[in-house]
Structure 1
Amino acid sequence: MSLLVVIPARAASSRLPRKPLRLIAGRTLLHRTIAMARAAIGTRADVALTVASDDDAIADHARAAGCDAVMTDSAIATGSGRALAAAQAQSSPPRFVVNLQGDSPFQPEGALGAVIAALQGGAPVATPVISLDWPALDALREHKTRSPFSGTTCARAPDGHALWFSKTIIPAIRNEDKLRETDPRSPVWRHVGLYGYALDALERFEACPPTVLENLEGLEQLRLLELGIPVMTVAVDPPRFDSSGIDTEADISRVEALIAVYGDPTPPL
């Protein structure tokens, strides 16, 4: 095994307690994420999948779907920390670790493969982003009137390296009306909750305490930037569904409404 995909699934959540076990159109959030990960991994023999949890019921729920599960310390506060603990629990350490956030089951189809390719190409950290057209940007703005901390945007350099991430919509757009007339795409990139790390980059990240800006935004990837660890963003096509995470009851209702209209994109387990 050269790469380990970890789905962190902790029980505590201030906005949506026991989130991994919450039902979305009859299927739990965790089972949806496992199914999505399996479909993305396919038959690759060099990739393993595990759920990292601090809760026996959640771990058992993962195993009921035929997925390996690792118990991790409840004191671990971040998904990346839980991913590292899962990697360290393996009989031999993987070269790369992917933190596939358990609250984002509707990932773009090519996101996991794009992150793996970036890691194998030498990126110490890689994560996907989606270019928003103007209707998608308008929808994100409207969504944030109801769930202001749901959905993350990214400012990136021309070579793909991340400059910043924020729960607000960045960058601000001066003369937006004129830009809408000349370009079908907005300058806003939406971040997808999937991170790939070279193991040494993840270990360095986890050895450092959270930063002030990380705590203010509630975005652990900001610690990477403040530590000077380059983060490569990879552009991927948007999924059929809005790719923001499931953080609130309103998010569940929104996704269930989309499923009712467009059908369920989650493959079978």
Structure 2
Amino acid sequence: MPSPSSALIVVPARHGSTRLPGKPLLTIAGRTLLERVHAVASAAAELAGNCAVVVATDDARIAAHAQAIGAAVTMTDSALDSGSSRAYAAAAAWPNRPDLVINLQGDAPFVPPAVVAGLIATLRGGEADVATPVYRLDWPRLDRLRAHKQTAPFSGTTCIRDAQGRALWFSKTILPAMRDEAKLRASGPLSPVWQHLGLYGYRLAALEWFAQAPQSPTERLEGLEQLRFLEAGRTIATIAVDPPLHAMSGIDTPADLALAEAAIARLGDPYPL
């Protein structure tokens, strides 16, 4: 039986965050953000099999910390403008170019390893260019998303998908619009809205194309990288997952650090002992 397609999980970790400089080195409940994300990546790689992990950074301090926690490191150009471009640079520099690349953002410590491994399994078992997870919102979660968008309209991405799980569109607007919403609410606990969990798996050829292609018109308007693929006619498979227990998509501000510590105190620490 042939071995499965080789995979590489890349953890992009920049020092120069505008809102939270040096955030990969900041601690949450006694562990650095990078240490937590690397632990997720390592557990996912073990689940997936034939999979390696590398931290991609542009900063010597982050590289030194990554090496101290036992992570492989590759240095990437600080001029790269996205995590996906950094992921491609890391994959291109890897000694054995992988078939599949996972971009696990360095500020996402609460992603379950099984979700990351699931992206690899989906790409190995199908023909999509990209795979990404989504979760269906119940009505209270949808209400909270709507309220949050009153003050942060570009926080939270929704997805329209077909019956086979292929993504038709992503938007910072809440999609779909709903006629007769009261009737829908009365019919069951789940809304028709799917929210995107910002994590991607790519075929290397698709990621290479992305790194060389210009921004697409709607990508520029929405600020969503995945629209570059859709506007070019490429296929994104969405994977339905459970709503995240720790409902934080990323750590961007000092307030987010405090919220993350509070969530760990309330819900338990996902970091493996």
What TM-score, normalized by structure 1, do the two folds share?
0.92
> Residue 185 and residue 42 in structure 1: after superposition, are their counterparts in 2 closer, same or farther (change >3 A)?
same
Counterpart for residue 24 of structure 1: 28
Q: How does 1:174-253 map to 2 (within 5 A)?
A: 174-253=179-258
Measured in 2, the distance between the counterparts of 1:98 and 1:22 equals: 23
Question: Which residue is equivalent to 1:104?
Answer: 108
Q: Give the structure 2 partner of residue 164 of structure 1.
A: 169
* Equivalent in the alignment of 2:73: 69
CA drift of 1:2 comes to: 1.0
Q: In the alignment, residue 197 of structure 1 is paired with which amino acid? A: Y
- Write the distance in 2 (CA, Å) between the matches of 1:16 and 1:177: 41
Following the alignment from structure 1 to structure 2, what is the Cα–Cα distance between the partners of residues 99 and 234?
15
* Aligned partner letter, 2:213: C
Tell me the residue number matched to 2:149.
144
Displacement of 1:217 after TM fit? 2.0
% identical equivalent positions:
57
Residue 151 (structure 1) shift: 2.5
- Check whether the contact 1:8–1:101 (CA below 8 A) recurs between aligned residues: yes
Give the Å deviation of 1:242.
Answer: 0.6
Distance in 2 separating the partners of 1:147 and 1:264: 28
CA contact (8 A) 1:20 1:28 kept: yes
Distance 1:139 1:176, change over 3 A: same
Alpha-carbon separation, structure 1, partners of 2:256 and 2:152: 8
Q: Distance in 2 between matches of 1:29 and 1:250?
A: 14
How far apart are the structure 1 equivalents of 2:177 and 2:255? 26
In the TM superposition, residue 80 of structure 1 has moved relative to its aligned partner by 0.9
Deviations 1:21-51 (A, max 9, x none): 2322332221111111122222655100001
State the superposition RMSD in angstroms.
1.9
CA-CA distance at 1:243 after TM superposition: 4.1
Q: Which residue of 2 aligns with 1:265?
A: 270
* Alignment partner, residue 11 of structure 1: 15
What is the total number of aligned residue pairs between the two structures?
268
2:40–2:112 contact (8 Å) kept in structure 1: no
What is residue 50 of structure 1 aligned with on the other side?
A: 54
Aligned counterparts of 1:32 and 1:15: Cα–Cα separation in 2: 20
TM, length-normalised to structure 2:
0.91
Q: 1:44 to 1:172 in 2, by over 3 A?
A: closer
Secondary structure (helix, strand or coil) at the match of 1:129 reads: strand
CA displacement, residues 119-170 of structure 1 (integer Å, 9 cap, x when unaligned): 1122221111111111222233334345443332211112111112222322
Q: Could you tell me how far 1:179 is from its partner in structure 2?
A: 0.8
Flag structure 2 segments of 5+ consecutive residues without an equivalent. Answer: none
| 21-30 or 123-132, larger mean C-alpha shift | 21-30
Distance (whole Å) between structure 2 residues aligned to residue 174 and residue 22 of structure 1: 45
Which runs of structure 1 show a deviation greater than 6 angstroms over 4 or more consecutive aligned residues?
none
CA distance in 1, matches of 2:63, 2:223: 25
Q: Secondary structure at the match of 1:4?
A: strand
